[in-house]
A and B are shown apart, each in its own frame.
Chain A
Amino acid sequence: MDAAVRELSYAQAIQEAMAIAMDMDERVFLMGEDIGVYGGAFQVTGDLVERYGTDRVIDTPISELGGAGVAVGAAVTGMRPIFEFQFSDFATLGMEQIVNQAAKMRFMLGGEVSVPVVMRFPAGSGTGAAAQHSQSLEAWLGHVPGLKVIQPATPHDAKGMLLAAVADPDPVMIFEHKLLYKMKGHVPEGHYIVPIGKAEIRREGRDLTIVATSIMVQKALEAAAALEGEGIDIEVVDLRTIRPIDRQTIIDSVKKTSRLLCVYEAVKTLGIGAEVSALVAESEAFDYLDAPIVRLGGAETPIPYNPDLEKATVPQVPDIIAAARDLVKGVR
């Protein structure tokens, strides 16, 4: 196949990135629950254990706290672990090691160590897995200085950002939306880096800026395409990193379009939309605003089991279309 148009799924892109990282650096290894012969709950590690062996693709017991701590300890002492939480919800079990240890160790020790650990979190709703296997907890970790938190939205970025994370000397938390795993897209071969901390403009437009994260980037692009026929020209900013956040790209976009809609799957209140709204309101872009800022986020509820309820919990394309239209037409 022609390399220029080679397509991989998001999951395959991550797997390829991990293989490249292990090929490039003997210190890189994988840890997690059922990532070996099982291939990972979402088949992201796949057959890597056959290629790299059980010393480098380590099945852990069901011990999220201990496992996360082992990864932190290995990172501090010279290894480059990539630790997979089977579901992002299980971050709750490993929170102590993530927040108190990984994030703070360098700081508490006055810069004497670095903690180059990568943690991967399959996140989000839409799989019928109900309230304890569907959450979007990235803003929790985004609130912690010392961590870097990323949400790649395409197969291309999933690979390039994972390789950036492995090369990063600090702890990087990757939130991967489970519904993206099967999404296909162009993924270059070989090693490349998509930098952490840089947002990407996925679609240029002049009437409205949508700042979206993870799977909401795809939904925002669909909404933008649908509104094209109505003469509404939308710019879609894929935030990609929520800590450190790319303020300038957001501010510049809002100055151009004069309207801002934030779209994210996590619970709306106290989420990334609040941060994006506030940084715009605090910036020179505030004077450019022609309409109030609008946020579309998850409902104030745990994720329900019933599929219709589940869908209604998080923003869908029609919700984005309606909100964008109202904003541009001055209904709000």
Chain B
Amino acid sequence: MAGASKAVVDSRANLPFVYRQYSPEQLRQVLHKMYLIRRFEEGAEECYMRGLIHGTMHLSIGQEASAMGICMPLAEDDQITSTHRGHGHCIAKGAEVSRMFAEFFGKTTGYCKGRGGSMHIADVAKGNLGANGIVAGGIPIAVGAALSSKRMKTGKVVVSFFGDGANNEGAFHEALNMAAIWKLPVIFVCENNGYGMSTSTARSTAVKNIAERAAAYSMPGVIVNGNIFSEVAEASFKAVERARAGEGPTLIESKTYRHRGHSKSDRNRYRTKEEIEDWMANRDPITLFETELRDFGFIDDQGIQAIRDAVAKEIADGIEFAKASPAPEIATLENYVYTEHA
């Protein structure tokens, strides 16, 4: 902090982790991206309601701090595997919303050229190896990517996002065990939003906290409030340091909540309206972060409004880009099944 005055340093000294670790500009960017995730999903939902997007989608509205906090300490060439609820991870890792919308619209300009849709959204160039339609499907793949990193000495760290439902899949346990015995640079991030589709973790999971599973695989198990950006980012930062130092994997349980249902077919019969409204009104991750930023003097109302306006334009432009993009030719149906030989 060569240029900063001592007063500024001191004033930051008692603030939570991210306010000491990152510049005000970086933190304003985080708020920008959290809004971008929220508005992207609201935009996608609206396009779905209007019949512009078919299929289904799983919205992560309410979980934005988790995606952003975990990705904050990652370098561009670090890698992630994601889940069916993966839009936030994709944006947090650096994807453009225009190409994401294009994918949801099934267009050739989409990240998967219209072959994947919401559930397989990916951005390989930015290190996102893809969302996954199979619960826990991406976890062993992340361990394999971490094995590549270790063998090829690339220094890359791999993050595997998954939900609470995945902690009861065999793949979760097999993958954590292998990552631990081989000390691989991988971070397991369980975004516990309380429900695997309709079944609460209390009904599905024998341990109270999924982080307790870490003990079975001799790795640190960390619980964070997934709706508080700084808490998530701090845990991720430590796990990334540990992974890069060759000390092996970490399991982070990020406790959060999805405001929307599991997917578009969800009638929310397994939770109360009061519960949902409480999370929305009192624990919204964007509101919490925005309030902190303002209280600590990192942004003012004008700055917040500027972010909201910029995001609104990005979303509108993205949807227009998707609408205007070409659909794939039927003749290309069998493309990408196998690698084309030159």
Chain A residues near B (Cβ < 8 Å): 27, 29, 55, 60-61, 63, 65-79, 81, 96-97, 100-101, 105-114, 145-146, 148, 169-170
- On whether the beta carbons of B141 and A101 are closer than 8 Å, the reply is yes
Give the contact stretch, choosing among B20-28, B56-64, B114-122: B114-122
Judge whether B143 is part of the interface by a CB distance below 8 angstroms.
Answer: yes
Q: Which residues of A contact B111 (CB under 8 A)?
A: 109-110, 112
- On whether the beta carbons of B144 and A61 are closer than 8 Å, the reply is no
- On whether the beta carbons of B134 and A101 are closer than 8 Å, the reply is yes
- On whether the beta carbons of A67 and B116 are closer than 8 Å, the reply is no
Judge whether B100 is part of the interface by a CB distance below 8 angstroms.
Answer: no
- On whether the beta carbons of A146 and B338 are closer than 8 Å, the reply is yes
Give the contact stretch, choosing among B87-95, B148-156, B266-274, B304-312: B148-156
- On whether the beta carbons of A73 and B142 are closer than 8 Å, the reply is yes
Q: How far is the CB of B116 from chain A (nearest CB, A)?
A: 5
- On whether the beta carbons of A66 and B140 are closer than 8 Å, the reply is yes
29 A-B pairs with C-beta separation under 8 A:
A61-B177, A65-B140, A66-B170, A66-B177, A69-B137, A69-B174, A69-B175, A72-B140, A74-B144, A74-B145, A76-B129, A78-B148, A79-B144, A100-B137, A106-B336, A106-B339, A107-B337, A108-B122, A108-B130, A109-B112, A109-B130, A110-B115, A110-B116, A112-B125, A113-B129, A114-B339, A146-B337, A169-B339, A170-B339
A145 (CB) vs chain B CBs: closest residue: B337
Q: Which residues of A contact B139 (CB under 8 A)?
A: 69
State in angstroms the CA–CA spacing of A69 and B81 once bound together: 12
Known contacts A29-B151, A70-B144, A75-B144: A112-B124 contact under CB 8 Å: yes
Q: How far is the CB of A77 from chain B (nearest CB, A)?
A: 4
- On whether the beta carbons of B134 and A79 are closer than 8 Å, the reply is no
B149 (CB) vs chain A CBs: closest residue: A77
Most buried by A among B110, B114, B335, B336: B336
Q: How far is the CB of B267 from chain A (nearest CB, A)?
A: 28
Known contacts A63-B174, A170-B338: A96-B142 contact under CB 8 Å: no
State in angstroms the CA–CA spacing of A278 and B113 once bound together: 34
Contact flags (1/0) for B47-71 with A, using CB distance below 8 Å? 0000000000000000000000000
Judge whether B74 is part of the interface by a CB distance below 8 angstroms.
Answer: no
Judge whether B178 is part of the interface by a CB distance below 8 angstroms.
Answer: yes
Known contacts A74-B148, A170-B339: A108-B137 contact under CB 8 Å: no
Judge whether B181 is part of the interface by a CB distance below 8 angstroms.
Answer: yes
Residue in contact with B174 in the complex, picked from A67, A78, A105, A148, CB distance below 8 Å: A67
State in angstroms the CA–CA spacing of A169 and B337 once bound together: 11
Q: How far is the CB of A145 from chain B (nearest CB, A)?
A: 5
Number of B interface residues in the complex (CB < 8 A): 46
State in angstroms the CA–CA spacing of A232 and B119 once bound together: 58
Contact flags (1/0) for B167-192 with A, using CB distance below 8 Å? 00011011101100100000000000
State in angstroms the CA–CA spacing of A170 and B340 once bound together: 10
State in angstroms the CA–CA spacing of A123 and B173 once bound together: 27
Residue in contact with B337 in the complex, picked from A29, A97, A106, CB distance below 8 Å: A106
Judge whether B133 is part of the interface by a CB distance below 8 angstroms.
Answer: yes
Judge whether B251 is part of the interface by a CB distance below 8 angstroms.
Answer: no
Q: Which residues of A contact B171 (CB under 8 A)?
A: 65-66, 69, 96-97
Residue in contact with A79 in the complex, picked from B115, B120, B148, B337, CB distance below 8 Å: B148
State in angstroms the CA–CA spacing of A74 and B182 once bound together: 14
Residue in contact with A96 in the complex, picked from B137, B151, B152, B178, CB distance below 8 Å: B137
State in angstroms the CA–CA spacing of A113 and B175 once bound together: 22
Known contacts A70-B178, A106-B337, A112-B112: A79-B140 contact under CB 8 Å: no
Q: How far is the CB of A329 from chain B (nearest CB, A)?
A: 43
Q: Which residues of A contact B151 (CB under 8 A)?
A: 29, 55, 74, 79
Q: Which residues of A contact B178 (CB under 8 A)?
A: 60-61, 63, 66-67, 70
Most buried by A among B134, B145, B174: B174
Most buried by B among A69, A111, A148: A69
B129 (CB) vs chain A CBs: closest residue: A76
Q: Which residues of A contact B336 (CB under 8 A)?
A: 106-107, 109-111
Residue in contact with A97 in the complex, picked from B129, B140, B145, B181, CB distance below 8 Å: B140
Residue in contact with A73 in the complex, picked from B112, B144, B337, CB distance below 8 Å: B144
A97 (CB) vs chain B CBs: closest residue: B140
Residue in contact with B175 in the complex, picked from A55, A70, A71, A79, CB distance below 8 Å: A70
Q: Which residues of B contact A67 (CB under 8 A)?
A: 140, 174, 178
State in angstroms the CA–CA spacing of A78 and B111 once bound together: 20
B172 (CB) vs chain A CBs: closest residue: A66
Judge whether B315 is part of the interface by a CB distance below 8 angstroms.
Answer: no
- On whether the beta carbons of A108 and B143 are closer than 8 Å, the reply is no
Known contacts A65-B171, A66-B177, A69-B140: A112-B79 contact under CB 8 Å: no
Most buried by A among B132, B151, B173, B181: B151
Known A70-B178, A109-B120; further 20 A-B contacts with Cβ < 8 A: A63-B177, A63-B178, A66-B143, A66-B170, A69-B139, A73-B142, A74-B148, A76-B141, A77-B144, A77-B145, A97-B171, A100-B133, A105-B130, A106-B336, A107-B336, A110-B111, A110-B115, A112-B112, A113-B129, A170-B338
Q: Which residues of A contact B335 (CB under 8 A)?
A: 111
- On whether the beta carbons of B140 and A73 are closer than 8 Å, the reply is yes
State in angstroms the CA–CA spacing of A210 and B339 once bound together: 32
Q: What are the 6 tightest A-B residue pairs by CB atom distance, in nearest-first order?
A: A73-B144, A69-B140, A66-B174, A110-B113, A73-B141, A63-B174
Q: Which residues of B contact A106 (CB under 8 A)?
A: 336-339
- On whether the beta carbons of B115 and A107 are closer than 8 Å, the reply is yes
State in angstroms the CA–CA spacing of A133 and B181 once bound together: 28
Residue in contact with B152 in the complex, picked from A61, A78, A100, A105, CB distance below 8 Å: A78
Known contacts A63-B177, A113-B124, A146-B337: A69-B143 contact under CB 8 Å: yes
State in angstroms the CA–CA spacing of A311 and B140 once bound together: 39
Q: Which residues of B contact A55 (CB under 8 A)?
A: 151
Q: Which residues of A contact B232 (CB under 8 A)?
A: none
- On whether the beta carbons of B114 and A79 are closer than 8 Å, the reply is no
State in angstroms the CA–CA spacing of A65 and B135 once bound together: 13
